[in-house]
Structure formats: structure tokens, C-alpha cells
Amino acid sequence: MSILVVGSVAFDTIETPHGKRERCQGGAATHFAIAASFFTDVRVIGVVGDDFGPKQEEAFKKRNIDISGIEHIPGEKCFHWAGSYEGALNEAKTLQTDLNVFADFSPKVPSNYQDSDFLFLANIDPVLQKRVMDAMPDVKMVAGDTMNYWIADHRDNLLKMLAGLDTLIINDGEARMLSGEHNLVKAAKKVIEMGPKSLVIKHGEYGATAFFCERSFPGTKNTTVPFRAPALPLEEVVDPTGAGDSFAGGFYGYLAAQKEITPRAFRTALFYGGVMGSFAVEKFGIERLRDATREEIEERFRLFREISHLDLDAE
């Protein structure tokens, strides 16, 4: 099954305790697409400027990602974000945001993307997310992301988008802000009342929790019990930029590759999300994820089971 992702295709200038990198290839759609491409076909809708050249295209082509839906605006530049991380590397401090081509982004779904099976709405203006969602009424599943800016200042538009989601993937802080509840279980209930059939809350180095409502898996029983997936305890987190998008890509890519979206497939997908997130942070930008292999991914998936499951054979 194919995934269509809409979101930012950008450059990031990143400073972490491990060093500084100027203008790494990045953006939510980039991280998501590369992570998902290890599992299924991926198509990207985005907008770029003249600074998006053959080198940047190559990163997508190497992973067989269809970028025919990325619009080029001549004479302009790509979206650029600069940020720094300190201490726990949990939260980025934004130093600079240059919207550039992104300021007037108006996503269009090309005809060759119309038969996409799964839709992922990366973190952009919820008005645009909703527009793409409405343009793709026949997809099997719609998942999406958002951030504090839209939650705080564009709530009405955000709520219209959330109403159409199968799965919302956000972090602890966003779940608390969106719901007004500090307790994450209460927060999840409120968010699910806004429309999403399921909610994945990412806890950074502590993993992720999925919450479900009765509509999550029609025809199956006992599906409303939450599920917790671990994160790998990592000694070196070089750059957390894109970890959440890589998590979403691994999660959604695995899910799109399954015959049927069952509770078990959903749970397993969360583990693959963690796996792709764990690769993403090992190097700057997309460096590590881009060079991953399917064998490495399976090996790390086994490691995720080993660190979290009781009943493995090894005594």
C-alpha cells in the first residue's frame, strides 16, 4: 500500500552538545518519507526553492520515494529552521525560522498520487491539512501531527482537521496543551473526543503510548486498552531533530505494509516507530536513517522486543 505525505521539505541548522551542522537536509515530510520508505511506497507533497537540487533529490530517489508532487518555486528558497538543544536534548530552542517558499504553500494532489492508500498530514497549517484530507476521501487511513503553535492560535481550524483523523501522533506537551489536562490518560480521552479514533503520545526517551476508542478497530473486541511501546536506552543522542517524524514514518510505513489494520499490527507498528526514531537520533539530520538497511531495522526491532518482553527464550 502506498502512503502520501504532505509536509515540510526543508533545511535545518542544528546545534547540539555533539556539534553544529549548517543547512542539513530535513523537514517533517523528509524524515517521515525516508523512515516509511523502508516498509512501503511513499509519495511526497511539498514545496521547495532553487536550493533544492540534485543532491537533495538523490536522498529521496535512493529510497525510491516519489517526489513528483514536490513543487519548485523558481527564484525562492526552501523553508529553513535553526535550533539548538541542551541538557536532556528533549526540547529544541528555535533560533530562527525562514518560511521562504513555505509562506504561500498551497498543497495540490497530483493525479498520479490520487490512488494513494494511506495519508499522513505532517505538521503544517491545519487548514492545509484539512484541504488535502478533503481531496483524498477514499484513503484507507488518515494520520497526522500538529504542534503548539496551531494548538494555541489556530484551534478552530485544528479541531476541524482532528475530526477527520484516524490517528493523531503528538508528544506529551502537545497532548497536555490540546486537552488542558495534565494527566495523560485524561488528556487522551479528551483528545479522542475531538475526533481521532486513536492517539499516539510520544514520550521521547521513555517511548510512546497509544490510546484507542471503540471505533479504532471495527469488528474486533478489547481494543480500548492502551499500549506502551519502549524507546531504546541510547548512550549517544547526537541530534533529536526529526526523531518524532521518523517515529511516525516507521509506525505508518509498517502499518501501510500490512494486509489489515488489526490491534496487533498497530502495536507492532509502534515498535517500528521507536526503531526508526532510535536510528534518527544517532547522527545529524537524515544521515543515519538514510543509510539504514532493512536488516539493521529488523535487528533493532528484535532488540526492542528483548528489552521489553518477559517471555523470550533466553534465561
Closest distance of CB 234 from its own copies, Å:
6
Closest CA to 10 of 103, 87, 88: 103
Closest distance of CB 146 from its own copies, Å:
21
Residue 220 found at the interface with its own copies (CB under 8 A)? yes
Closest distance of CB 148 from its own copies, Å:
18
In whole angstroms, what is the distance from residue 270 CA to residue 130 CA?
Answer: 25
Beta bridge mates, 42: 3
Question: Closer CB to its own copies, residue 86 or residue 104?
Answer: 86
In whole angstroms, what is the distance from residue 309 CA to residue 228 CA?
Answer: 12
Which amino acid belongs to residue 136? M
C-alpha cell at 84: 539548538
Measured CA distances, 88 to 85, 193, 238 (Å): 8, 33, 11
- Under rule CB under 8 A, which residues in 240-259 are in contact with its own copies? none
Residue 186 found at the interface with its own copies (CB under 8 A)? yes
CB 37 within 8 A of CB 65: yes
- Under rule CB under 8 A, which residues in 60-89 are in contact with its own copies? 87-88
Which amino acid belongs to residue 116? S
Residue 310 found at the interface with its own copies (CB under 8 A)? yes
- Under rule CB under 8 A, which residues in 254-283 are in contact with its own copies? 262-264, 267-268, 271
Q: Which stretch binds its own copies (CB under 8 A): 30-38, 57-65, 96-104, 206-214?
A: 206-214
Q: Which residue is it, cell 479528551?
A: 190
Chain residues binding its own copies by CB under 8 A are: 87-88, 182-186, 188-189, 203, 205-207, 209, 211, 220-222, 225-230, 233-237, 262-264, 267-268, 271, 303, 305-311, 314-315
